[in-house]
Structure 1
Amino acid sequence: MNSGSLRLRLGLAAAGLIALALALAGVGLTLIFDRVLDARTADGLDRTAKLIAGQVALAPDGALILPREPPDSRFSAPYGGLYWQVQRQVEQAGGTALRSRSLWDRSLGTVPNAAGEPAVGDLAGPDGGRLIAVTRRVSIPANGATVALAVTVAEDRRDLAESRATFLRLLVPSLGALFVALTLAMSLFVRRALSPFRTLRADLAAIHAGTRARLPETFPEEVRPLVADLNRLLDAQERDLERARTGAGDMAHGLKTPLAVLDALARRTEGRDPALAAEIAEQAQAMGRQVERTLARARASAGGLRRKACPVAPALEKIVGALKRLPEGEALRWEIAVVDGLAFPGDEGDLTEILGNLLDNARKWAHRRIRVSGGAEAGEGRLVLEDDGPGMSEAAIAGIARGRRWDETRPGTGFGIAIARDLAEGVGARMRLNRSELGGLRVEMSWPVAV
């Protein structure tokens, strides 16, 4: 998948957005967890504070007493992480605070008054840590009066940090697994959303291959306007190509008569002025060759988007059968090895003219053998024509495209291979000329095959 792929870009964008959303969700969940953990801890501390406030009393000498301490063992262990303290809000002479054993020789402060009870906040711990604390202010009767007390219960935040760490150890892999699941789901979604474009590409390939004339109308509503425009383009192109073919045929028909007249004039003038007759005939033949190649180029450029596929084997069999009946054709050994499924990306007329020119050229120059092989592999069709003749030099191969004749001992116009190359390139095929292992010319044509 290359960097220009729409599926890749959408997938990366979706993965990035999913990662950002999960990161924000993780931060939000952590904050919510901290809030909930503080609230639940404060609620538990407040219940303990209520329990202590309900049991605290004054001894006859005015000292604070607590008949039964809270059962949690951390209250008894020095710096155990859980602390309580009861003290008068206004200290009286000889009054002392009542506190848990876990405070040892230290004391707690009180959370400042809040709008409602209990007051929740942070206090400094006896070992330098931070505590989450709850202070509940109560009054108890004593000798016909009331004594205002502040009951404070606190817990070390390091214990809460362990709970937070446990939560994060569970949260991070959970979010990672959710990221993988959502990314895979989004990848499937993107693939499903882009499936009409894959279908459109396959249908366009079928049009290029000539197996389909138009795009179907079964695409989703969002893609249907594009399909309709492409169908209109195909129809308009077909009409333009038909007019071009008709115009080319009319031009050929219109030029045949003047060329025939010139040829007749050359023959009539031959007795009186042989040099003039030869010059007229030569120019008429040159004009004929130029018209023939121009018409071939016009046909080659009229391929358009819509191609017609033609099976190679039947056309090759017809051409070889006809060439065997020509001079020197029967004496040659024709070796044909073309797979039945090989199709050329052009109509039968183009293929017939290409093979006719190439094989007729091979017939003229071959000594004993002509070999034709073809097949398709790795998404490419290939057709190779070889003979055991004298072959061609690199200079002759370079000049053949311009119609130059490199040996005047054989009949011909010099445009056969050039016309075949024009027609092949017009339908998207490539033609390469070089020397064959048989000793003569090797012509290789290749073209992409729709898969």
Structure 2
Amino acid sequence: MLIVVLLPSIGFTLNKAFERQIGQSIKNQLNAYMYSVLAVAEVENAQLVMPANLVENQFNVIGSGLYALISTQDKVLWSSGSFFGLHPPKLIEPAIGQHRLERIKIDNLKHIIFSFTVSFATETKSVPVTIHIIKNETDYQLQIDEFNQTLWSWIGILMLVLTVIQTVWLIWTLKPINQFGQEIQLIEQGKIAALQQAYPSELNQLAKQINTLLHTEQQQRQRYRNALADLAHSLKTPLAVLKSQPQLNQDSHEQLDNINHIIGYQLKKAQSVAANAWHLGISVDETASKLVRTLSQIYRDSHIDIDYQLIEDKQPAIFRGDSADLSEMIGNILDNACKAAKHQVLLTVIQAEQLHIIIEDDGVGLTPEQQQRIFERGVRADTYQQGHGIGLAIVSDLVNSYQGTLNVSQSEQFGGAKFSLTFHSS
């Protein structure tokens, strides 16, 4: 921006300075011509007397572009031979001892006229006359045009060179920042776990702090999960001992099962990192493909065909969250779809402006009432042999924690249930 403003300003200033210099040069030159004419002018008996030829030969050559006129009271008393055949312009006669420099047109051509008024003293009276020196402006304009062309050509070249230098310098200077941004993007996509490049001192401290944050967050998450796993394991034994007591009635067994479900549900819910974690990018395709392969093996004897299709628009399908949470959400719904399906299950992953995960089956589907209550803890559809109790409630909580949406409807393609998960891509 500075180059675009500064260099043209310098060029404009130089151009004006050169024009002023040319104007002063013209004035000095015409003033010299005027004195050369004045030196040979005489007044005898109140009459102007001029020699046949002047010392400056251009005054003697017809149409030379340099002319001299002497006038008094708007009447031309004498004109140089070079002015032969031309029509006198309107002449201005300044006060005695004063001069004026103006631009006029003679036969539609631009000229510069220098007028100076003097007074010749005779024996009887003073005779005031004005000497006019007229010069064709073409020569001066050619000088100005040539200077402007040379000036702006070099300024243009200089602007181009400086722009290239500045662009290269900016690219080289901003390269570490671009690398920094690219590595942050790779971290978000889950391709790397920390910043790895060497950065200048200005960015190095920031890179270290980000790496420390990533490492600390991952360690805290792992310790948190380990503690929850230890808690779940420690509660299993007391619950198993209580359930083995022969004196417990049916109601007590149901309450113990309910406690077991509640503990499992809360532990699963607490294990979600969701919005509290650094959202590393997870490849949806990798998780989805693994689940499809696993469930295909589990339901092989049920003759359930699990199809999987991935649709990506310009960018890979990335889930910004924890891989265990993604696996929990897709796995729960996909497993329930396999239980409800007759023969066909379809998992579709679409990466557009948002991430869409759609799971459909060809089972009997869900009634509108079941669609409303299916995500409540402990509720399951009668058409499913098992499950749909705590699993979908956990899925619903996980989706909400990632500020996503979970909808259930009827599949237009298969007629069974259709679960749709939508997440923001950034």
Tell me the TM-score normalised to structure 1 length: 0.66
Aligned counterpart, 1:337: 308
Cα distance in structure 2, aligned partners of 1:313 and 1:359: 10
Match of 1:370 among 325, 333, 345: 345
Give per-residue Cα distances to partners, 1:89-142, cap 9 Å, x unaligned. xxxxxxx976555757957437857xxxxxx75369799x996637699x9xxx
Within 5 Å, give how 1:112-127 maps onto structure 2.
Answer: 112=97, 121-122=100-101
Match of 1:133 among 114, 122, 138: 114
Structure 1 residue 381: Cα displacement = 5.8
Within 5 Å, give how 1:41-80 maps onto structure 2.
Answer: 41-49=26-34, 51-52=36-37, 56=40, 58=42, 64-69=49-54, 70-72=56-58
Within 5 Å, give how 1:174-213 maps onto structure 2.
Answer: 193-213=173-193
Cα distance in structure 2, aligned partners of 1:255 and 1:157: 111
Compared CA separation, residues 36 and 157, structure 1 to 2 (3 A): farther
Determine helix, strand or coil for the equivalent of 1:371.
Answer: strand
1:46·1:153 contact (CA, 8 Å) conserved in 2? no
Compared CA separation, residues 331 and 316, structure 1 to 2 (3 A): same
Aligned counterpart, 2:419: 443
1:48·1:153 contact (CA, 8 Å) conserved in 2? no
Give per-residue Cα distances to partners, 1:150-183, cap 9 Å, x unaligned. 9955448987997799689969997997899599
Aligned counterpart, 2:16: 31
Q: Which amino acid aligns with 2:415?
A: G
Compared CA separation, residues 404 and 280, structure 1 to 2 (3 A): closer
Cα distance in structure 1, aligned partners of 2:139 and 2:194: 70
Cα distance in structure 2, aligned partners of 1:85 and 1:223: 81
Compared CA separation, residues 381 and 291, structure 1 to 2 (3 A): closer
1:370·1:385 contact (CA, 8 Å) conserved in 2? yes
Cα distance in structure 2, aligned partners of 1:278 and 1:18: 84
Structure 1 residue 304: Cα displacement = 1.5
Aligned counterpart, 2:386: 411
2:295·2:335 contact (CA, 8 Å) conserved in 1? no
Aligned counterpart, 1:145: none
Determine helix, strand or coil for the equivalent of 1:268.
Answer: coil
Aligned counterpart, 1:385: 359
Q: Which amino acid aligns with 1:399?
A: R
Structure 1 residue 372: Cα displacement = 3.0
Cα distance in structure 1, aligned partners of 2:240 and 2:275: 28
Aligned counterpart, 1:235: 215
In the alignment, does 2:94 pair up with 1:109? Answer: yes
Compared CA separation, residues 83 and 432, structure 1 to 2 (3 A): farther
Match of 1:288 among 249, 263, 266: 263
Structure 1 residue 365: Cα displacement = 1.5
Match of 1:40 among 25, 34, 38: 25
Structure 1 residue 416: Cα displacement = 1.3
Compared CA separation, residues 300 and 59, structure 1 to 2 (3 A): closer
Match of 1:245 among 216, 225, 231: 225
Aligned counterpart, 1:7: none
Determine helix, strand or coil for the equivalent of 1:230.
Answer: helix
2:380·2:387 contact (CA, 8 Å) conserved in 1? no
Please list every run of 5 or more consecutive structure 1 residues that lacks an aligned counterpart in the other structure.
1-13, 88-95, 114-119, 140-148
Cα distance in structure 1, aligned partners of 2:52 and 2:226: 117
Cα distance in structure 2, aligned partners of 1:111 and 1:31: 32
1:309·1:346 contact (CA, 8 Å) conserved in 2? no
Compared CA separation, residues 218 and 379, structure 1 to 2 (3 A): farther
Determine helix, strand or coil for the equivalent of 1:433.
Answer: strand
Give per-residue Cα distances to partners, 1:248-281, cap 9 Å, x unaligned. 323323433444344345x6312xxx44x25523
Determine helix, strand or coil for the equivalent of 2:202.
Answer: coil
Determine helix, strand or coil for the equivalent of 1:407.
Answer: coil
1:52·1:151 contact (CA, 8 Å) conserved in 2? no
Compared CA separation, residues 253 and 122, structure 1 to 2 (3 A): same
Within 5 Å, give how 1:353-364 maps onto structure 2.
Answer: 353-364=328-339
Cα distance in structure 2, aligned partners of 1:381 and 1:194: 32
Structure 1 residue 22: Cα displacement = 5.8
Tell me the TM-score normalised to structure 2 length: 0.69
Aligned length: 400
Determine helix, strand or coil for the equivalent of 1:222.
Answer: helix
Structure 1 residue 202: Cα displacement = 1.9
Comparing 408-417 and 427-436, the one that deviates more? 427-436
> What is the CA RMSD across the aligned residues, in angstroms?
5.2
1:26·1:175 contact (CA, 8 Å) conserved in 2? no
Cα distance in structure 2, aligned partners of 1:259 and 1:81: 121
Determine helix, strand or coil for the equivalent of 2:295.
Answer: helix
Q: Which amino acid aligns with 1:252?
A: A
Cα distance in structure 2, aligned partners of 1:336 and 1:44: 96
1:64·1:97 contact (CA, 8 Å) conserved in 2? no
Q: Which amino acid aligns with 1:439?
A: G
Q: Which amino acid aligns with 1:366?
A: A
